[in-house]
Amino acid sequence: MHDFLLSIGYNYWILPTLLALPLVGALLVAFTGRRGEEGEDEVASGAARGPRVLATAVFALEFILSLGLWWAFDPSYEGWQQSFDRAWIPTWGIRFTLGLDGIALMMVLLTTFIMLLASYGSFTSIRRKARSYYALLLLLTTGMLGVFMALDLFLFYVMWEAMLIPMYFIVGIWGGERRIYASLKFFIYTMVGSLLMLVGIVYLGTHQPLTTVNGIVTSVPNFSYDAALNTAQFTQRGALWLFGAFFLAFAVKVPMFPLHTWLPDAHVEAPTAGSVVLASIMLKLGTFGFLRLAVPLFPTAAMQPAVRTAVLVLAVVGIVYGALVSLVQPDFKKLVAYSSVSHLGFVMLGIFALTVQSVQGALMVMINHGLSTGALFFLIGMIYERRHTRLIESYGGIARVVPMFAAMLTLVSLSSIGVPGTNGFVGEFLVLIGSFRTAPVLSLIATTSVIISAAYLLWAIQRILFNPLDKRENEHVSDLNRRELLLMAPLVAGIIWLGVYPAPVLRRMEVSAEKFVRQVESKSAVRTAARER
Amino acid sequence: MLLQHAATAGAHPLEGTVASYLWLLPLLPLLGFVLNGLLSLTSAFHLGPDDPGADHGHDSHAAAAHDESGGGAHGDDHHPVQRHRHAGLVSLIGPGVLIAAFGLALAIFMAMRGLGEMHAPFVQRYFSWMPVGDLVVDASFQLDQLSMVMVLIITGVGALIHLFSVGYMQDDPGYPRYFAYLNLFVFFMLVLVLGANYPILFIGWEGVGLCSYLLIGFWFSEKANADAGKKAFIVNRIGDFGFLIAMFMLFANLGRLDFAGVNATIGQLPFGGVVVTAICLFLFLGCAGKSAQIPLYVWLPDAMAGPTPVSALIHAATMVTAGVYLIARSNVLFSMAPVAGLTVVLIGGLTALFAASIGLKQWDIKKVLAYSTVSQLGYMFVGVGSGAYVAGVFHLMTHAFFKALLFLGSGSVIYAMHAAYHATHSHEDAQDMRNMGGMKKYMPITWVLMWGATLAIAGVPPFAGFFSKDEILGSVFLRATHSTLADARWLGIPGNYVLYLVYVMGLAAAFMTAVYMTRMMIYTFHGPNRTGDKEREHLREAPWIMTGPLVVLGVLSVIGGWFNIPAALPVGPIGALEHWLEPVVGESTLRVAGGTLPEASHSLEYLLIAVAIVIALAGIGFAFARLKPQRLVPKAQAPAEHGFGLVLENKYYVDEAYDAAVVQPVVGVSRGLLWRGVDVGLIDRLTRLLVQSKDDDAAPGAVPMGGWMTRAVGYLGSQLQSGRVGTYAWVLVVGVLFVLGAFSFR
Amino acid sequence: MLAESLFFSAVLFTIGVVGVLTRRNAIIVFMCVELMLNAVNLTFVAFARVYGVAGQVFVFFVMTVAAAEAAVGLAIIIALFRHKQTVDLSNINLLKG
């Protein structure tokens, strides 16, 4: 397989293609089919069929193309792979540079996978303005993939902002009752952070050491990531400010306590696929930003004891706080939203604890959370389509009526709780065992969340699936149909596969994770637990 | 294949024998799970419509009629009557895989016996599970004498219980689902005892907790059952927290998580130091959760909400013994931490006493057995905690036999009672002993077998329990004078005091055990029958598929103790089990005992044995003398308890205390402070300074801040646009002067 | 000689500025603007005396522009008067936003 891919020059064209294909698809979808009338139910009338099938086909093609990366990627090579580099705006030193390392690889695969499922999962829940919706999904994909692939800071920023707009529209048009409030809140929160990041990026780009072109010293800015990593110069105070700017941008996205309040609202009001994309992918952009930009570019600032401890404490607070607040949510979607805050706290803990195990664990949590929480939101969406309520108290005892749904929900909940054998355990275990070496007390506090997460999820699914079937409206709920089963199958398979045999995934990310730890350690002279054996 | 064998000096002698099929052992029940699970889903499941969001009205046929055993077609919540379509096939697969697994286990056992001496465990590595940096966690199984004993118990007793279940659950609509879960449980339990490192053990550890959750809440339409299942899982998780921390500490200090590696390197840590003690204590926290010791035992009595065979398998014979196994497996660690050992012994003894006292006043026959289990587990921990690992495992084995027998026997009784009540459409409690009485007339075989188990648990020779219990108590007594535990101090108290105290607690608990077990027998089987005249006609012995396994267990309850006869009684194979387990635990036992095994003179031995027998018989006699079954009244008319008896009946109000002290405050704080207070009240209010919020559900009484800051800034800005030319001119002039000034002062 | 002329035109210019800023009648404001422009003319002529004839050429330009601007400006005032019946500047705020 590897050789076949090499023979078709896969490594050269794959990344630009992955970016361009959704754009082309968006254009096509926007002009496919018939535009629906005002108030028309496009699913029932069939007007939605063209756009949704075409969009899903594009996504499927995108996913299949991206699958090749699994084999084309060389797990033992430390540098950037599948790179693509073209001049873009030469006067400002901006280049269109793309490339992957182990971390970005898994994120790209996760993105194409989840987007395919998101598109397939929206078939019956998006009933008006279908064309626009699917086009927006495609545009969103380009933005997100661009963030993961970008190796030029300016390009990174452009892509970062580019994905806000489709998301804003998706939540704002097809969302729930308070969607305007939620989408506005989401947009402003993220924007404020990103603006600071822009300042930081501009500073980084313009404060490069003077470059020489043909022997003539020029002062063209250089926005290349490698340049920022290796040759950019700033004072220690400058580094601290810059780190702060990037930190704010990404901390909002993660979301870290106390900047997390946009998430419950956005999740609750977003349409199902919107929630899935938001949880599975967009939250990972924040942590990815930390892994790619904030920490490696400013290691001394990031690992300063005060800063590092503060971040670790906030992460653990997020873990426990998110879990406790989940316990008392009456709305199931909001419960899952707060649980996301809790899970992403694990990622931040893993990154800043700075051991190979904790970083790999953080990466695994990113992937696993994408799968499990995505699956949870899909399931919530399915039951919502039938009963039009997300309040837990509206249900009760429905396992008798919808056994397939009950089995899926139970399994996915167990994955979210982190039962060994499911994917959730691997990530959490690695994060905790890794961070125990450098921050034992915090790691211990974080481990208590395994108790709380069991409590809130089991209590929730008990009130939904078990207990007496006492409400008449629940007695005739239909079970999952063929499409929904087909949708859940790959997610369930992923949950079990990554729980039992995560080694291939770990192997592909290993070099990047080790490089991350090594570089940050050496540059910031942080002593993490070295063992004499 | 993926098999790779541990790099020992030369190949392991078991390689190439039937033992290389070790991986098949857990795979068989897993296969059963998959098949039974599919059978359970395919018949209950109906594909939904393609567009669930459209208004279809009654689109799905009355799915409620498909009573997935959630509630009865007769409104009888415990036993709905509707035999499943695939029941026959499931009856073959479910017990079938267990019997096959037991057969394989026997074969492997014979192979091991054929070796004579086996000093090193047989390890099979299948693949790399979590390789990250210097953390190496492989998916590997380890077979040694200890795991062999456990495997035999799990598959053997498990197979018997599966057969029993065929009869007990035959009319349950959830029949395939039941066996699926039961098979899955055996799978996880086997993974637990066969795992070669702590993480793999942990998979099994949590997995059995999961199956326990699924099986306790099997009849989930009753909120109480679902609650019990959830409680079990969450309380277990508290223990799992401890287990996890112990693993983290092991890795942080030793860099290894596999048993071989840990055992080899733990010696580097200071003996009795903080690290080793902490690791052992955290491990024990896990055991307290899984094996229902103080303070985490509260889930076990509630777990009786599940089907009785589940209680027999999971909450008597196997899952709850996982904690004992864990300590036995970690014997090297525990032998290096005397304080931890004392803690284990103390809590074990306390639990044994505490639970036994509660059992004296329980009326539900299963609750009596539940508290009895908690109490007996305490004994096992006394055994392994004091360094007498063989004694603890021995009691684990005999307890599996007679407790499973007791539970299954009570299951037969309950089965008969249910049949009786079902026939007369009565809604009385089929599990309350006050509704029973005189059952020996209707169920003689069960009666005899249950007496056998009762004598075993009370510790009357030559029944099984006598030997194991005596060994534990004797070991504790001897180690009170001669062990590292005795030399250590527990919170300032000298170790030998602690051990003597535990010995006394053990004796007291033994007395109470005899009393409450005899009480159970008297109230259930002796005296007049209180079930009701009409119902009485329907009471009869259970079908042979159920009584058969009882007989086998009865035999085992008699002869089970003969596997490890103490030296003082040369009537059979002396110390067979001890000899068998020596390669695994021998060294640690010696270390705890301070270098030489405590030997008791034969006269001391006889004295200890005599004391044990006297106490057992005294308890039985006391019960017969004081308890008058004739004075009992059926539950519906029974008077309320009073005084200390009320306290015992309400289990010392521990559950209520936990609820008030832990659960309610946590929920209250989360809801009131964290959510409403911080999130909505504080953080959101701050953000609303910036964001316009017209359609916002403000907290009641809150002033809608409505983005006043943004509007304020905007207002200021709009002042600039006055439209008045004069102002513009002013601004122009001022600006010019400014620029001129800036230029001239450059 | 130069200093006195500059001083004189500065005074005239200042009077013009003050008039523009403080007077309410639009016509008066225009007269003050004319005053400013003429003060500037004076400055140019004064400098032309010293630095050459280019200053006097500038005066021609300024006078032309002043004439054109006066014509357009008065036309605007007439239009404004027709609309608002007043030339009081404090009442004119059509550009208020």
With an 8 Å Cβ cutoff, are A328 and B675 in contact?
yes
Chain B closest-CA separation from residue A102 CA (Å): 14
Instruction: Report the CATH number at residue C19.
Output: 1.10.287.3510
> What mean pLDDT is predicted for residues B555-580?
80
Which two tokens mark B157?
């007793």
Instruction: Let me know: does A142 contact A278? Beta carbons within 8 Å.
Output: no
For chain A, what is the largest distance between any 2 Cα atoms, rounded to a whole number of angstroms? 83
Lowest mean pLDDT segment, chosen from A355-369, B298-312, B624-638: B624-638
The confidence score (pLDDT) of residue A216 equals 67
A505-527 as b/e, with b when 16 or more CB fall inside 10 Å?
bbebbbbbbbbbbeebbebbebe
- Chain B positions touching C80 (Cβ under 8 A) are none
Distance CA A492, CA A503 (A): 18
B551-580 as b/e, with b when 16 or more CB fall inside 10 Å?
bbbbebbbebbebbbbebbeeeeebebbeb
User: Least CA distance to A459: which residue of chain B?
Assistant: B230
In-domain check, residue B553: yes
Is the pLDDT at B640 greater than 70, yes or no? yes
Chain B closest-CA separation from residue A330 CA (Å): 11
In-domain check, residue B492: yes
With an 8 Å Cβ cutoff, are A430 and B227 in contact?
no
- Chain B positions touching A44 (Cβ under 8 A) are 51, 54
Instruction: Let me know: does B624 contact B520? Beta carbons within 8 Å.
Output: no
pLDDT grade, residue B203 (50/70/90)? very high
The confidence score (pLDDT) of residue C20 equals 92
Which two tokens mark A280?
């599975």
Distance CA B614, CA B629 (A): 24
Residue B527's domain comprises 337-635
Lowest mean pLDDT segment, chosen from A25-29, B50-54, B494-498, B644-648: B50-54
With an 8 Å Cβ cutoff, are B723 and C17 in contact?
no
Instruction: Let me know: does B144 contact B115? Beta carbons within 8 Å.
Output: no
Chain B closest-CA separation from residue C90 CA (Å): 7
In-domain check, residue C96: no
In-domain check, residue B320: no
Residue matched to tokens 């169920």: B443
With an 8 Å Cβ cutoff, are C92 and B724 in contact?
yes
Distance CA A32, CA A10 (A): 30
* Interface mutation vs chain B, best among A192, A368, A458, most B CBs within 10 Å: A458
Distance CA A126, CA A131 (A): 10
Chain A closest-CA separation from residue B234 CA (Å): 6
Please tell me if residue C17 touches chain B, with a CB cutoff of 8 Å: yes
Task: Kindly report the average pLDDT of chain B as a whole number.
Answer: 85
DSSP 8-state symbol, B364: B
Instruction: Let me know: does B353 contact B377? Beta carbons within 8 Å.
Output: no
DSSP codes, B613-645:
HHHHHHHHHHHHHH--GGG---GGGPPPP-THH
Number of domains in chain B: 1
In-domain check, residue C97: no
Distance CA A398, CA C44 (A): 95
Is the pLDDT at B28 greater than 90, yes or no? yes
- Chain C positions touching B726 (Cβ under 8 A) are 21, 89-90
In-domain check, residue B393: yes
With an 8 Å Cβ cutoff, are B723 and C96 in contact?
yes
Instruction: Report ipTM for this prediction.
Output: 0.92
- By CB atoms closer than 10 A (0-12, 13-18, 19+), residue B16 is exposed
Residues in chain A: 533
The confidence score (pLDDT) of residue B480 equals 87
pLDDT grade, residue B689 (50/70/90)? low
Residues B279-299 have pLDDT tens digits of: 999 999 999 999 999 999 999
Instruction: Let me know: does B375 contact B128? Beta carbons within 8 Å.
Output: no
Q: Which stretches of A21-138 are assigned E, i.e. beta strand?
A: 81-89, 94-100
With an 8 Å Cβ cutoff, are B234 and A501 in contact?
no
Q: Which stretches of C1-97 are assigned E, i.e. beta strand?
A: none
The confidence score (pLDDT) of residue A484 equals 92
The confidence score (pLDDT) of residue A381 equals 93
- In order of B429, B540, B702, the CA distances from B414 in angstroms are 10, 11, 59
Distance CA B596, CA B484 (A): 11
Q: Which chains lie within 8 Å of chain C at 3 or more CB pairs, if any?
A: B
- In order of A389, B328, B738, C9, the CA distances from B741 in angstroms are 68, 89, 5, 20
The confidence score (pLDDT) of residue B709 equals 67
Residues B176-200 have pLDDT tens digits of: 999 999 999 999 999 999 999 999 9
Backbone Cα Rg of chain B? 32
With an 8 Å Cβ cutoff, are B724 and C20 in contact?
no
Greatest mean pLDDT among A109-113, B43-47, B670-674 lies in: A109-113
Residues B400-457 have pLDDT tens digits of: 999 999 999 999 999 998 888 888 888 888 888 888 888 888 889 999 999 999 999 9
With an 8 Å Cβ cutoff, are A184 and B230 in contact?
no
Element spanning B141, H or E: strand B135-143
pLDDT grade, residue B707 (50/70/90)? low
Omega before residue B295 within 30° of 0, cis = yes
Instruction: Let me know: does B619 contact B514? Beta carbons within 8 Å.
Output: yes
DSSP 8-state symbol, A99: E
In-domain check, residue C81: yes
> What mean pLDDT is predicted for residues B479-483?
84
Q: What are phi and psi of B679, to 5 degrees?
A: -65, -60
pLDDT grade, residue B80 (50/70/90)? low
Q: Which chains lie within 8 Å of chain B at 3 or more CB pairs, if any?
A: A, C
pLDDT grade, residue B73 (50/70/90)? very low
- The set of residues, in sequence order, having a beta carbon less than 8 Å from that of B697 and lying 6+ positions away, is A178
- Chain A positions touching B696 (Cβ under 8 A) are 178, 181
Q: How many CB atoms lie within 10 A of CB B487?
A: 13
Residue C18's domain comprises 2-91
Q: H helices of B569-629, where?
A: 576-592, 602-626
A385-388: which pairs have CB atoms within 8 A and are 24 or more residues apart?
A: A385/A124, A385/A125, A385/B52, A385/B53, A386/A477, A386/A478, A386/B52, A386/B53, A387/A473, A387/A474, A387/A477
- pLDDT < 70 positions in chain A: 209-219, 525-533
Is the pLDDT at B243 greater than 80, yes or no? yes
Please tell me if residue B729 touches chain C, with a CB cutoff of 8 Å: yes
In-domain check, residue C27: yes
Is the pLDDT at B389 greater than 50, yes or no? yes
Q: Which stretches of B352-407 are assigned E, i.e. beta strand?
A: none
pLDDT grade, residue B647 (50/70/90)? confident
Chain B closest-CA separation from residue C43 CA (Å): 18
The confidence score (pLDDT) of residue A38 equals 76
- By CB atoms closer than 10 A (0-12, 13-18, 19+), residue A350 is buried
With an 8 Å Cβ cutoff, are C95 and B723 in contact?
yes
> Given C21, C89, C94, which is nearest B733 (Cβ)?
C21
DSSP 8-state symbol, A213: E
Number of domains in chain C: 1
DSSP 8-state symbol, B124: E
B241-268 as b/e, with b when 16 or more CB fall inside 10 Å?
bbbbbbbbbbbbbbbbbbbbbbbeebee
Q: In 3D, which of B45, B495, B11 has the Cα closest to residue A408? A: B45
Instruction: Let me know: does A284 contact A160? Beta carbons within 8 Å.
Output: no
Greatest mean pLDDT among A184-188, B4-8, B354-358 lies in: B354-358
